[in-house]
Structure 1
Amino acid sequence: MSLTTYWLEHAWLDTNVEPGVALTVSTSGSAAGTPDGRVASVRTGVDTPPPGAVVLRGLTIPGLSNAHSHAFHRALRGTVQVGSGTFWTWREVMYTVAQRLTPDSYFALARAVYAEMALAGITSVGEFHYLHHAPGGSPYADPNAMGEALIAAAAEAGIRITLLDTAYLSSGFGAAPDRHQLRFSDGTAEKWAERVSALKERDGVRVGAAIHSVRAVPADQLATVARWAQDREAPLHVHLSEQTAENDACLAAHGLTPTQLLAEHGVLGPRTTGVHNTHLTDGDIALLGSSTTGTCMCPTTERDLADGIGPAVALQRAGSPLSLGSDSHAVIDLLEEARAMELNERLRTRTRGHWTAAALLRAATADGHAALGWADAGTLEAGALADFTTIALDTVRTAGPLPRLAAETAVFAASAADVRHTVVAGRHVVRDGVHHSVPDVAGALADSIAALRG
């Protein structure tokens, strides 16, 4: 067994900041049973670094979990901010980019995007993946070539991935897919299940399921996707009530809200996460809470697309655990997502203090990892996966506050630019702000995005 000790100048341990913490992790398996890449011990009150320890100055927190990502949307940054428009006009631009991707170009783009996430302190990503087939809908020789490209990209970028393979079968409540959506569709939920069952979990990889939306999966096929996830005890995610138009169309088609329709077909439950959950009725909130269905808020995308502010406070009070995602990657910054959830609620209610910094960090760490099937990540304690990130406390954004306020400083003032170190499975992925395997992340992003321009 090989052990590495990290000395943390300050560490966030569940609800409080502790100075001088020695964190020992195993970096290889052992006959004694210490798992690879896990925290072996945590000692507080260690005033000076032990001999040979790796010193991490700043505030070390559990690795951040990006619970909702569409990697190829990163190519839209800037482009979709020109002029005005709606979600639906944004979607047309998104389709254009999607049509140009191949397994090779998607790997290059996703590798750069996931490396950007690592620079931002993200150690696991939930990739909501529906770009399955070649243009026109023909399968690749390997029907999971696009999903495997994403898995390989995450491995090279050094972060964990939960591939949320997405059923996307209809252009709207049973209508056939349009020409853009042919790449997304397997035809039926049964054929989707057959394809996704060939994906295998491995080190750093979980395979989950997703229902794109109640628009995109006919009601009589929702249960097929839900059963696939339930049989494997896998995460199941779904875009839910992101747009009022979706609610209106669902009511017209079924006489039910999208949440009611999902409940009727057995989709809700503790391993299910609704993404956005923006336009809900009181009854919807009660259904989600009573079933302990999670909620993934994506505030930077929700504000970028003018979707609205979801009822996160009411959902959490009802029993729905909160997680966070960067979704369309208008920015990749989980600290910004965390504070935006609180600040949006302040604007809506004109009151402050809906969540503490500790509660927001929990949404960005432990609850996000749990939503992606990594229940043993997101804490700095013995036995947990050794995934953590260090935020500098001496930058122009973070200098000044007392160390005991480091969590508040991180959540309400720091940005992804203040991340100095990211460690996954006990090994440095980002050291002193430099990615170990993608040293020029900006160049990799620029090159992979330029390759997709028409």
Structure 2
Amino acid sequence: MDATLHFESLLLPEGWADNARVTIRDGLVSAIDRDVPREPRDEAHAIGLPGMPNLHSHAFQRGMAGLTEMRGQGEESFWSWRAEMYRFVDALDPEAMYAIAALAYMEMLETGFTRVGEFHYLHNDLHGRPYSRPAQMGEALAGAAGETGLALTLLPVLYAQSGFGGQPPVPEQRRFVSDMDGYARLLDASRECLAALPDARLGIAPHSLRAVTPEVLAEVVRLVPGAPVHIHVAEQEREVSDCLAWSGARPVEWLLANAEVDERWCLVHATHVTGAELAAIAASGAVAGLCPITEANLGDGLFPAVEALEKGVRFGIGSDSNVRIDMTEELRLLEYGQRLVHRRRNCQTRGGSTGRFLFDSALSGGTQALAAPPPLAPGSSADLVSLAADHPAIIGRSGDRVLDSLIFSAGRGAVDCVWRRGRKWVEGGRHRDRDAIIARYARAIGRPAG
């Protein structure tokens, strides 16, 4: 896609630029010029931002949003939520996966996300057998990404056991589990299904320390050299106590001592960590993958973001269970959680704008975690977001005040247009194919499993 976009104000990696023109050729940024007047051929916009990476998603869970909010007889937690999720997947086939993922990916674009890290573990058929095409569910995800326009970093998950110490999988996990040979075939098939998507990436994802043995973890991270490695870790307090009982060490402590964790890695959640573990994460160069909306919905706890900032931990944001998809709300809740814990304001900044710090940090961390091209750089995909300058929360704002007002007041309602690889997929806050995507989702979610 070729275009020239003119912004009165555009956030670039080096800061805000006035009267900036972005020249797009074949979907890539060809040039960015500052302090230039608008020309007749330019498409004019007031405020522009780089698209935000969403580093952690389980797309299929968008279809169960709101279905787990009924109090049961026992205490409600992640583990009771997981039991409901197991029941939900019993009704999903590739057609339903496609429809649900397209809805989720459309909503991600509408809120300013332009790339997703899809932590994909629903591999097997309804009976727990591999599909004839090992990546048939991954094909559905790739198809949904292609149709909606969202960039995809696919992270096929290895789920080999049900608990620490090599406990065998339970029947409810039959759609997730595979062995190393099956996982290697899945990776090969996943690579093929991504071939038609522009700037797609393939990574690997050992599900968690409870789902793979130490021997398998050491083997799996070598399967795709240089690729992103994502893992759930220290999400729940019970996970910490179970890991201590098994190994004598906490999950993050054990992982950093027993795996070669570096800049490739994304430690998803890392909610229950000590100061020493935060320092070790920072030293490793890994990214903490934070999902504040889901972590709040599940009652998991709060990542110690203030202490992590002091120690230099990198972070990005993800929508995880997709109970609500909203880029600005992930950032806002991340900050508000710290305000409630520490009982003070503007916790996550080294000085200056909190909104700018949150946005820049999540952009950098997400880009690293998903092996994405650098944002708004010549030769990179043209992934941009424009804001509605006439939104009441944005009127009269400039520079970093725009980001403060976007995150803490306007929210997703201020998102106007979104370009992915130079093509405008969202205009006026609505995806170009919104009606068709929702209609297909409505048909799929209401029918029995095929």
Scaled by the length of structure 2, the TM-score of the pair is 0.91
2:208 matched to 1:210?
no
Partner residue of 2:362? 364
Question: Is the CA contact (8 Å cut-off) linking 1:277 and 1:295 kept in structure 2?
Answer: yes
Partner residue of 2:374? 377
**Structure 1, residues 236-279: CA drift from partner, whole Å, max 9, x if none?**
00111000100111111111211132224325211000011100
Partner residue of 2:5? 6
2:49 matched to 1:67?
no
Distance between the aligned counterparts of 1:445 and 1:63, measured in 2? 25
**Structure 1, residues 82-101: CA drift from partner, whole Å, max 9, x if none?**
33621111111111111111
Amino acid at match of 2:56: H
**Structure 1, residues 191-215: CA drift from partner, whole Å, max 9, x if none?**
3233213322432321101111111
Distance between the aligned counterparts of 2:336 and 2:437, measured in 1? 30
Partner residue of 2:41? 52
RMSD, matched Cα: 2.1
Check 1:381–1:373 CA distance in 2 against 1; reply closer, same or farther (3 A cut).
closer
2:255 matched to 1:262?
yes
Task: From 33, 42, 49, give the equivalent of 1:43.
Answer: 33
Partner residue of 1:245? 238
Task: From 221, 229, 238, give the equivalent of 1:226.
Answer: 221
Amino acid at match of 1:421: C
Distance between the aligned counterparts of 1:154 and 1:197, measured in 2? 19
> 1:124-273 to 2 correspondence within 5 Å?
124-173=115-164, 174-186=166-178, 188-200=179-191, 201-202=194-195, 203-229=198-224, 231=225, 233-273=226-266
Partner residue of 2:410? 414
Distance between the aligned counterparts of 2:216 and 2:260, measured in 1? 11
**Which of 319-328 and 262-271 deviates more?**
262-271
Structure 1 regions of 5+ residues with no counterpart?
Answer: 28-36
Distance between the aligned counterparts of 1:42 and 1:223, measured in 2? 43
Question: Is the CA contact (8 Å cut-off) linking 1:377 and 1:387 kept in structure 2?
Answer: no
Task: From 302, 308, 320, give the equivalent of 2:301.
Answer: 308
**Structure 1, residues 306-330: CA drift from partner, whole Å, max 9, x if none?**
1111122333443431100011112
Distance between the aligned counterparts of 1:190 and 1:311, measured in 2? 38
**Structure 1, residues 71-123: CA drift from partner, whole Å, max 9, x if none?**
01111212122336211111111111111111111111111211111111211
> For 2:137, what is the secondary structure of its paired residue?
helix
Amino acid at match of 1:46: V
> For 1:227, what is the secondary structure of its paired residue?
coil
Amino acid at match of 1:5: T
Question: Is the CA contact (8 Å cut-off) linking 1:292 and 1:319 kept in structure 2?
Answer: no
How far has the Cα of 1:51 moved from its partner? 1.1
Question: Is the CA contact (8 Å cut-off) linking 1:74 and 1:113 kept in structure 2?
Answer: yes
Question: Is the CA contact (8 Å cut-off) linking 1:110 and 1:150 kept in structure 2?
Answer: yes
> For 1:172, what is the secondary structure of its paired residue?
coil
> For 1:228, what is the secondary structure of its paired residue?
coil
Amino acid at match of 1:98: V
- Size of the aligned set, in residue pairs, is 437
Scaled by the length of structure 1, the TM-score of the pair is 0.91
> 1:396-411 to 2 correspondence within 5 Å?
396-402=392-398, 405-411=401-407
**Structure 1, residues 358-403: CA drift from partner, whole Å, max 9, x if none?**
22112332321221010x233x343332111112232244345456
Amino acid at match of 2:356: A
How far has the Cα of 1:45 moved from its partner? 2.2
**Which of 76-85 and 416-425 deviates more?**
76-85
